[in-house]
Structure 1
């Protein structure tokens, strides 16, 4: 991609810096946007990982669809499945009506799963099914539903270590990590300081 195009993207999304690693990450995000491949964005807290899913969404054919950002670490383990996949009336105490989850709402759009490394193992298995077949089941239902979403995930967790410790599914890691984008920390971008 031409340097001036990368500069325009930085201006549009409020990204500051000219380090080679940062420019490469933006270039990869723009190139992968025209595909439906899953993207895994890694980097430390505070490096601006949340900008890259927006770049991918805005440069994709899905840009007129929903863009939903979900902080997986902020949703309690007991409700994460309901938030992501929806639930049927009566599925649990307090489920007074049917509710669509983020995967139904974002059909035709993009879901950004921030802090994906914090997902419980049971939810990871359900997410893997969505990645493999585009199918999910609401909590309390037996009816399979289809969705067509682009999944972009981000984490500051070392997922290879989490896999070794049994906290993250290896098969899910490879499905999410189809296109990796690593955002360098500011200390590695000396001229940007």
Structure 2
């Protein structure tokens, strides 16, 4: 009886971990894994009292193998669905391309006359004045002749040292 109680407690923990812990795995696969593990444990507990230990161990292995085969079959089915969907998309895409090309034949290329380029060469030939390229003059920054007053105040000040720190401790407590 205590064994069944432990089995129920462990099954609740396993199902909650499988359901909430592995969110990225689809629900069917999660339940196959958790259900297979719980079925193997249940059969092991039930067979433990009436059969020898190795028979219950063989039953656990057999149920686990059965759950693994079911899991693999589900994976194969999902993979086949994905491949079938990809093939259908490719077929639709090829059909759309073929219908689009039959409805709208490609136009024959025509030579393009470049009138803008011809005008630009004519304009270049007519300009006879040479252009002067001048460099911009460097920008002169005004010099600061006066130092800020605050800097002058700090020049004559004494450096900060340990002398300015007053100790806090026994001396202050005695004065109070």
* Shorter-chain TM-score range: under 0.3
Structure with more helix by fraction: 2
- The normalised TM-score by structure 1 is 0.21
- The normalised TM-score by structure 2 is 0.22
Higher relative contact order (CA 8 A, sep 6+): 1
Structure with more strand by fraction: 1
Larger Rg: 2
